[in-house]
Structure 1
């Protein structure tokens, strides 16, 4: 049954939210590596495989509470789940996988690295948010970090395929910005749903969307060896559980603890971990410019945290209610 737990307060809420955000970024960074691990598979195949697995696992986990949850969900909630699943999962991953395969992990993570800037700018309009002028140093630091990460990548986008990859990356940026803002605001108006249940409901809807991709994948008529399909299944299931189930749950818990302006800053850790995984995959050390970029990114998060302290902004989203635990 569902019981209301005592909500953490003050600095503890902030640091707990930060820890959840870093954990989500570490798991979501795997999303950028997956297209490289199974490069012979198209973005449509990758999205269909990952989200079919995500949908099945989510459905199994939510099945014991399905009747209770279904009774409290409205038509507006289901519509929100549909467009959030599309923007934050299905469409986003197709675009990211395309950006990685047409360009590179560094280029894709660079553009998505602008998410803290876009989400923070939108979040600064929320009631009770830190004024934009106080966030300006943080926004500048994050923008400098993103530019440093991809300076060489942007300079190399002369080939047609790389340019198309860059366009896909910017499409992913727009798609996930819409998701980050919309998801945070949905959680704020749905205090009766736990963050974990909302993540699983998103998974069920995303799995249904993945079923619609299967006919499109069939039109491609993919030709892969049995060993390739086995590797594809392993990557799809692994990314579904680690990034989609665990990562989304951590992100939703964080969204209940931090204001939207700080939520936007936490997305930078996805970029940092994506770069780290990319360096390990390529078996090389980061270049000086890449190290500088990580320093800018971390400095931006610290600057944003200090801005929230200095202006006495509450650690939670202004409309958020207490978190509920399901046991």
Structure 2
């Protein structure tokens, strides 16, 4: 394994550890709606991005044309606003496990897209073992989730299905984000990883400002207590799961090929499961343990497929 590959994997793991918190956050906000969490989180992301970008904005603006701003708009929607609103709703409808397993398919979808590209450093045949191991882990979690659905107190079967559809839409949205973001980072040599992250945050924050009236003015009944707790979680997500995690993700994206980038998303699934176990104060079941082992094996298999002769 080359040094750049090791650093890329470490950045991917750090991003996953922070993003895993965002899957637990909807369970922690009580009576507040997912849209309220998403809007405050992303306004925080935008404010922090503006503060950090302010000293360099004049130098960056000449390098950004209409195409770049439209690209940032698409990334902000796919990777932040639409994705997290769908995912948060899915978590509140059917718990953490189901959205975790659906989002867990992102490594497979991104890896397939990456392997089919002309600039792929490995063939899709070489990645089949890794994708099968990843899919096996996802199937284990799915079986566990559906087996326990009736005892999770997350509503009727109809709500479970609605949550599944929301999570599937989030899967498509984030797959598009990963691929498009990787394309932009490879094109923009003159913009640093972190500046691109902060520019994305700037646009995301502007969009989130439009969400605030929808999130807080339209509901007929707003919670009367828990506001400090809510804002601490939402603002914490803005800092940790957006500003910091996305910076790690962009660094990883520039260090690794797209076929390996997809596998790094498994860290989010693994950490979200770990946080879920801590929250529920229990050990993983046999199926969940198998899922974790298969997911880790999938990452190792993917790294081996991208050996020094192929990458680095």
2:33 is aligned with 1:20: no
Q: Are 1:96 and 1:172, in contact at CA under 8 Å, matched by a contact in 2?
A: yes
CA distance in 2, matches of 1:107, 1:308: 30
In structure 2, the gaps of 5 or more residues are: 151-155
Q: Hey, what's the Cα distance between the residues in 1 that align with 2:9 and 2:61? A: 31
Q: For 1:130, which of 82, 105, 122 is the aligned residue?
A: 122
RMSD: 1.3
Alignment of 1:257-296 (within 5 A): 257-296=255-294
Q: Is the 8 A contact 2:11 2:249 kept in 1?
A: yes
Runs of 4+ in structure 1 off by over 6 angstroms are none
Quick one: distance in 2 between partners of 1:136 and 1:44? 38
Q: How many residues align?
A: 304
Distance of aligned partners of 1:150 and 1:70 in 2 relative to their CA distance in 1, 3 Å threshold? same
Question: Within 5 Å, which residues of 2 pair with 1:150-161?
Answer: 150-155=142-147, 156=149, 159-161=157-159
Partner Cα distance (1:171, 1:151) in 2:
20
Please tell me whether the aligned partners of residues 84 and 182 of structure 1 are also in contact (alpha carbons under 8 angstroms). Answer: yes
1:318 counterpart residue number: none
**2-side partners of 1:293 and 1:249: how far apart?**
28
> 2:136 — aligned with what?
144
1:111-164 per-residue CA deviation (whole Å, 9 max, x = no partner) reads 000010000000002314210000000000000011111213235386111110
The corresponding residue for 2:311 is 314
Query: Could you say if the C-alpha distance between residues 240 and 222 of structure 1 is closer, same or farther in structure 2, counting changes exceeding 3 Å?
Result: farther
- Which position in structure 2 is the counterpart of 1:113? 104
Residues 199-256 of structure 1: CA deviation (Å, up to 9, x unaligned): 0001010001101112212111342124x11111100111111110110000000001
Which one of the candidate residues 5, 23, 27 is aligned to 1:36?
27
What secondary structure sits across from 2:306 in the alignment? helix
- 2:74 corresponds to: 83
TM-score when normalising by structure 2: 0.95
| Distance (Å, rounded) in 2 between the aligned partners of 1:264 and 1:152 | 24
Tell me, yes or no, if the aligned pair for 1:144 and 1:296 is still in contact at 8 Å.
yes
